[in-house]
Structure 1
Amino acid sequence: MNKYNTSPEQLTVARQLLRWTLLVLPVALAAGSLVALFLWLLEWATQFRWAHSWLLYGLPFAGIGIYWLYRLAGRNAEKGNNLIMEEIHQPGGGVPARMAPLVLLTTIITHLFGGSAGREGTAVQIGGSIAGWIARKLGLTPKDTRILLMTGIAAGFGAVFGTPVTGAVFALEVLAIGVMRYDALVPCLIAAVLADWVCSAWGITHTHYSIHYTGKAVMEYWPFVHLDLWLLVKVILGGVAFGLSSFLFSTLMHRIKHHANAYIKIPWLVPFAGGLLIIGLTFVAGTTDYLGLGVHSASPDGISIVAAFDAGHAINPWSWLWKLVFTAITLGMGFKGGEVTPLFFIGATLGHTLAVLLGAPVDLFAGLGFVAVFAGATNTPIACTLMGIELFGADHTLYLAVACFTAYYFSGHTGIYGAQRLGVPKYTRPE
C-alpha cells in the first residue's frame, strides 16, 4: 500500500467529524447565546439585589412562585441535571425543551431575592434541553441522541465559565465515577469551544483569577526534585480537607432535601420555609456575603471568591462553612441554580483559611480549594485539574492535580448528582 494513500478508516473519521460538527453547530450557537443572556441577567439581578436589600424578605414568596412554575409547566424538567444524565445513561422520555426557559427564569428569581446558588446547573440544563430538542427534530438514534446530550452539557459548562477544555472533559467524566467513554470526546470539544466563542461574541466576560505565587524549590540533597516537598505535604493535607468539605456539602444538601420533603407535608411550604431559614441565617451571620453567587461582594471589605485570593483580605475562618449551609438549604429546599460557583466559594475561602493555618501561599491554596472542592463534589478530578490550568495557568499543575485527586478520594462515593453512576469504586475493601 502506498504510504501516502488515505485509508478508508481515516475517510470514515473525517466524514464523522464533519457530520458531528454540523450537528453540534446549532447546539453551540443556541447554548452560547442563551448562556450569554443568562449571565447578563444574572449580573443584573445581583446588582439590583445589592441596591435593594429588602428583596431578601421576598425570598420565601419567590420560593412559592418557583414551586408553582414547575408544578404548572415543569413536570419532569424539575429533575434538572439529573434528568439529562439519566437520559444519557438510559434513553426514556427525553429532555423537554421547556427546561431551558424554566431554569433560566427560576435561577434569576432565586438570585434576585438572595438565594445562595450557582450558575453551572442552569447552563448545563440550557445546553441539554437544546440538544434534546434538536435530537428529536432530526430524529436521531438513541446512540446519537446520547452523544448530542453530552455536547449540550459541554457547551453549557464551557460557555458559562469560559473553560471549553474543562467543559468537554466534564461532560465525559461526570456521568460515572471512575469511568470515561471517549465516543463523544471530539463532538464535546467542538461544542464547548464554539459555545464559549458565541458567548464571548455577545460581549460577556468572565472573572479573572490569578495565582501570583512563583516559588520553586530545588532540594539541596535531591537535585532531581524541582518543587517544594514541604509545600506538597501541605497541599495533600489541604486536599483531604477539601474532599471532606465536598462530602459534607453533598451529604447535607441531600439530607435537607429528604427531610424537608418528609416532614413538611405541604409541598409549596418547603421553599417557603427554606426562604425563612435563609433570612434567619443572614441575621445570625451578620452579613449578606453568603447570599447569591459570591464571586464578588457588595462591600469592598466583604467576603467573596475574589477576596479569598488576597492574602491581605480578612476572611472569616468559618466563611466556607457558612456558605456551605446557605447553599445546601437553598438548593435542598427547592430553589434553582447550580452548585458549582458556591463550591468555588467554599473551596477558595477554606483554602485561604488553611493557608493561614499552615503557613502556605494564600493565593495558591485559594486556587487549589477553588477547583478541588468542586472535584470532590462532582467526582471529576481530571476536568477540575484542567479547569485550574485554564483559569490559573500551568505553573502549578502538579499541585492542582494532587489537590483535586486527593479531594476526589476523600469525598467518598457521594456527589451532588444523584444520577451519577458508580463505574469503578475509589477503593476496594480488603478481603
Structure 2
Amino acid sequence: MTKSAKIKKNHSFIILKKLVIVSALIGFLSSFMGIVLKRSTEYYEDIFLERANNHLVFYLLFPFIGLSLIYFLRQYVFRKKENKGIKEVFDSTTNKTNNLPAYKIPSHFINGFLTVIFGGSTGIEISTVVAAATIGSVAQRKKNIFRKYKTELICAGVAAGITALFGSPIAGLLFAYEVISKKISNIFLLTTGIAVAIAYGLLLTINEPPLFAIHITTWHTNAIPYFILLGILAGLNAVYMTKTVLFIKGQFLKINTHFHKIILGSIILSAALLLFPQLYGEGYHSIKSIINSSNQSLVSLSLVVTLASILILKPIVSSVTLAAGGDGGVFAPSLFIGAFLGLLTALCLNHLFDSDVIVLNFMVLGMGAVLSASINAPFTALFLTLGLTNNYTLFLPILLVCFVSKYTAKMIFPHTVYSFIPKTAH
C-alpha cells in the first residue's frame, strides 16, 4: 500500500470514528430531551386538566394564557420568528446554506410544552422532531468534515427523538427515511442506526413503559373486510384533517394582527373544550380512558353523536391551535382521531351487523391507519403503532390498513400537510 493510500484510508477511518461519536452524542441528547419533554408535558397536562374539570372557567382561560405566553416568548426571547414545524427541517435538508439555528431547541421545547398543557389540541411530537433535528444541525456545523453529512446527522436527531417518544427504534429510523431523507445511504444507516440504538438503550435503562398499556391476544381473518373498510374510512378522515389544517391556516393568515388570532383561536378552542373535554391537549388521556372502557361501551344514539362530533371537531381545533400560534403537528391528532374512529366503526359494526369484531383491535388499527394516511408513511405508522402498545399481534392487520388508508387518501388528495405548497399570487 502506498503512502498516499494509507493516508486516505486513515482519513476515512478518522471521519468514520468521528461520525460514530457524534451520532451517539446526538442520539443521547435528542432522546433525553424527548423523554424530558414527554414526561413533563404529561405531568403538568394532567394537573391542568384536572383543575379545568373541577372549575370550568379554566377551559376559558387556559387556551388564551397558553397562546399568549407563546406569543410573548417569540416576540421577546426567540427572535420574533414563528415556528414553522417540520417544514423547517425540510428547508434545512434541501438547502445547504439554510441551517436550523440553536435557539430552535428551547423554542420548540418550551412552546410545544406550553401549547399542550394549556389545552392546545395538538401534541409534542413535531416539537420534539424539530428540536432534535436542530441538535443534529448544530452538530454538523461544529466540524467542516461533517458539513456534507448534514441530512444524515439531522435524521439521526429526528430518529432518536421519535424513538424516545414512541419506544420504537424501527419507527424512528423509518420516519427519518420516509418523511425526512427519502433516500438511504451507508452513512444514513450508520448515523441513524447508532442514534436510535442509544435512544432505545436509554429507554430500557430508565424502564420507560409503552404509552398505551393494551393487552391484545388475537385477531380473526373473517374481520379482514372490516379492516379494509376501516382503512378506507381512515384515509377519508386523514384527507379531511389535511384539508382542514390547510384551510384554517389560510384563513388565519388573512388576519394581520396576531393578538386577534390569539383571541379568535382561544374562543374557538375554549368552546370546543367546554363541549368535549376529550379534545384537551394531545388527547392521550382520552384514548387511555376509552381503552379501559371500550368493551363495556353500550351503543346509543348519544354515544354515536358524541364520537362523530369529536371526529369532526378534532381536526378543526387542532388546526386552530396551530394557526393561532401553537406549536405542534398532526401526529397526536392522527392517533387520537384513529382511536376514536376505530371505536366508532367497531361499535357500529357490532350493533348494526352483529360483526363481533374486537373493539380494542379496531382502536389500535385506526391509530396506525389515520397516521399512515396523514403523513404518507405506512411503515413508520406500522412500527410506531406497534411501539405504542408494545404488542406485535396485530402486525399484519395494521400493515393492511396502513396501506389501504394511504392509497385511499392519495387518490382523493395527493398531498399531506408536509408536502403541500400553497400557490402564490404573481
TM-score higher than 0.5 here?
yes
Q: CA RMSD in A?
A: 2.6
**In the alignment, is residue 398 of structure 1 matched against residue 401 of structure 2?**
no
Distance 1:354 1:77, change over 3 A: same
The letter of the residue matching 1:167 is G
Q: Cα distance, 1:74 vs. partner?
A: 4.2
Summarize deviations over 1:314-337 as a string: whole Å, max 9, x none: 664313323232212212322113
Match in the other structure for 2:164: 159
Bigger proportion of residues as helix: 2
For the 8 Å contact 2:85–2:329, the answer to whether it is kept is no
Q: Cα distance, 1:205 vs. partner?
A: 3.5
**Structure 1: unaligned runs, 5 residues or longer:** 1-9, 217-227, 297-302, 421-431
Question: Which secondary structure does the structure 2 equivalent of 1:304 belong to?
Answer: helix
Distance 1:55 1:337, change over 3 A: farther
For the 8 Å contact 1:85–1:419, the answer to whether it is kept is no
Matches within 5 A, 1:30-429: 30-53=29-52, 54-56=57-59, 57-72=61-76, 73-74=78-79, 78-175=83-180, 179-183=182-186, 184-199=188-203, 201-202=205-206, 204-216=208-220, 228=221, 230-262=222-254, 264-283=255-274, 285=275, 287-296=276-285, 303-308=286-291, 310-313=294-297, 316-318=306-308, 319-358=310-349, 359=355, 360-390=357-387, 391-412=389-410, 413-418=414-419
Summarize deviations over 1:178-236 as a string: whole Å, max 9, x none: x54344133212212312333554564432342525144xxxxxxxxxxx2x4111111
For the 8 Å contact 1:274–1:330, the answer to whether it is kept is yes
Q: 1-side partners of 2:237 and 2:177: how far apart?
A: 24
Summarize deviations over 1:110-164 as a string: whole Å, max 9, x none: 1222111112112112211111111112234443011100111101111111111
For the 8 Å contact 2:234–2:366, the answer to whether it is kept is yes
Q: 2-side partners of 1:151 and 1:374: how far apart?
A: 22
Structure 1 vs Structure 2: percent identity of aligned residues? 21
Q: Cα distance, 1:282 vs. partner?
A: 2.4
For the 8 Å contact 1:107–1:122, the answer to whether it is kept is yes
Summarize deviations over 1:229-273 as a string: whole Å, max 9, x none: x411111111011011111111101111111111x2212321331
The letter of the residue matching 1:363 is L
Match in the other structure for 1:426: none
The letter of the residue matching 1:278 is L
TM-score after normalising by structure 1: 0.82
The letter of the residue matching 2:372 is A
The letter of the residue matching 2:23 is V
Q: 2-side partners of 1:367 and 1:11: how far apart?
A: 50
Distance 1:389 1:59, change over 3 A: closer
Q: Cα distance, 1:71 vs. partner?
A: 3.4
Q: 2-side partners of 1:19 and 1:141: how far apart?
A: 9
Range 64-73 or range 32-41, more displaced:
64-73
Q: 2-side partners of 1:306 and 1:92: how far apart?
A: 47
Give the paired residue count: 388
Question: Which secondary structure does the structure 2 equivalent of 1:174 belong to?
Answer: helix
Distance 1:77 1:257, change over 3 A: closer
Q: Cα distance, 1:37 vs. partner?
A: 1.7
Q: 1-side partners of 2:273 and 2:289: how far apart?
A: 21
TM-score after normalising by structure 2: 0.83
Range 73-82 or range 368-377, more displaced:
73-82
Question: Which secondary structure does the structure 1 equivalent of 2:284 belong to?
Answer: coil
Question: Which secondary structure does the structure 1 equivalent of 2:295 belong to?
Answer: coil
Q: 2-side partners of 1:363 and 1:12: how far apart?
A: 55
Q: 2-side partners of 1:46 and 1:142: how far apart?
A: 39
